[in-house]
Amino acid sequence: MSGRLSILVAARDEEKRIGATVEALRTRFPEADIVVADDGSRDATAAVAGAAGARVIPLGRRGKGQALTLAERELDPGPLLLCDADLVGDVSALAATESDLSIAVFRAREGGGFGLAKSAARSLIAARSGFTAREPLSGQRYLSQRARDVVFPVAMGFGVETRMTIDAARAGLAIDEIELELEHRATGRTVGGFVHRGRQLVELVLACGPQAVNHRGLRLPLVGSLVGLAVPSVLPVAAIGLADDLWSGPERGFRAHVGSGATTGTLKLVGIPLFALARTRSLSGALLVGLAANTVNQLDTRPGRALKAFAVGSLLIGGVSKRAVVVAVLLAPYDLREMAMLGDAGSNALGTVLGFSSVEKLTGWRRWSAIGALSLLTVVGERRSLGALIESTPVLRDFDRLGRPA
């Protein structure tokens, strides 16, 4: 190892087990910095961990992956050992290898379901990286500094381990899986156990899809393409937006995109209005759709902001596609709680839904008034940013923060 070892444990409501886990880690790694990321516990987890000798980082209730990401920033550079809060056993062998990523394999299987989540995780790892994982879901992992640089920020929720292995393998890092005598609390074949594994399965699938880093530095799945799948009439716009999500550069705004030449941002600026022109066969219709898509996209800089703009716009024009409303309602909790992001795919698609509905309902001076209003918002966004305007206006600021974590 190069540098002092840090040990990071994500814990939620583990007051009965965290003390023993921390004490065992202190015994085996007396020189390590042991840190517990308290993921919004409602019991005495933080107090018990602190009394056992750990440094506790209190966090809101965010999920395992996000807790690890936020806490990892508070650690010194150097190797990192990740452990579950209910671990029983010796993991010192993980830190003794020369691999960039060492993963513990439990010698004896305890409880569990039918292995669907684990099988899915293995298949996803193999499909995305070519690596054949024996233990894709183990939370006991040693990372070199090089591995930390590659995998952090980690994927959200229970998909963290699966995506971590994928990222390490795709980066060409040395991965070692070591069989150890370990125990932890296993979820049985109960209703609660199957609900847990169902959520785990959903989150690891999301973790293996397109990802982006939000304003807080959290790595989240991009789910905005679901808008295009739900509303096929805007699927081409969602596809253009997804291309921008995956391959865009640092350019922001009309001037930056135009000045940078052929970019995915330029593709949006040209492609969305041309698609709207083909659909509406109207210059004013193309302008309205393009401006609506751009306005909602400009607002997608904080959780829930674009969805709230879509809701307000829908009310102002007297309703939009029911499918779009349904998918927006379903995505809202994930977007607001920073568990997923709309990205350009979702925000441009929702803006396009508003645009097409406006073209159907607005004619003459009413349509041109809408074009003028959206043009003004675009100019404000270019010169200042709509986000700054919202933050400086009390009523808008309060509405914007409604339902969002602090």
Residues 112 and 41 in one domain: yes
Residues 203 and 254 in one domain: no
Residues 274 and 171 in one domain: no
Residues 342 and 198 in one domain: no
Check: CB of residue 61 under 8 Å from CB of residue 39. yes
> Does the residue 101 lie in any domain?
yes
Average predicted confidence (pLDDT) for the chain: 90
**Boundary residue ending a domain (166, 181, 207):** 207
Residues 182 and 53 in one domain: yes
Residues 356 and 372 in one domain: yes
- Give me the domain span that covers residue 226: 211-401
> Does the residue 1 lie in any domain?
no
Residues 239 and 199 in one domain: no
Check: CB of residue 99 under 8 Å from CB of residue 171. no
Residues in the chain, total: 406
pLDDT bin (cut points 50, 70, 90) of residue 325 is: very high
Q: What is the tens place of the pLDDT at every residue in 98-115?
A: 899 999 998 876 555 667
> Does the residue 406 lie in any domain?
no
Q: What is the tens place of the pLDDT at every residue in 292-309?
A: 999 999 999 999 999 999
Check: CB of residue 64 under 8 Å from CB of residue 35. no
Residues 70 and 95 in one domain: yes
Among 395, 361, 366, 390, smallest CA distance to 377 is for 390
Q: Which of 36-45, 196-205, 249-258 has the highest mean predicted lDDT (pLDDT)?
A: 36-45
DSSP 159-217: GHHHHHHHHHHHTT--EEEEEE-EE-PPP-SSHHHHHHHHHHHHHHHHHTS-EEE-TTS
User: How many structural domains comprise the chain?
Assistant: 2
Residues 144 and 225 in one domain: no
Q: What is the tens place of the pLDDT at every residue in 3-12?
A: 789 999 999 9
Model pLDDT, residue 201: 84
Residues 191 and 238 in one domain: no
Model pLDDT, residue 261: 55
Residues 181 and 60 in one domain: yes
Lookup result for tokens 């396009």: 352
β-sheet bridge partners, residue 141: 82, 103
CATH of residue 155: 3.90.550.10
Q: What is the tens place of the pLDDT at every residue in 368-403?
A: 999 999 999 999 888 888 888 899 999 999 999 999
Residues 203 and 232 in one domain: no
Q: What is the tens place of the pLDDT at every residue in 218-247?
A: 999 999 999 999 999 999 999 999 999 988
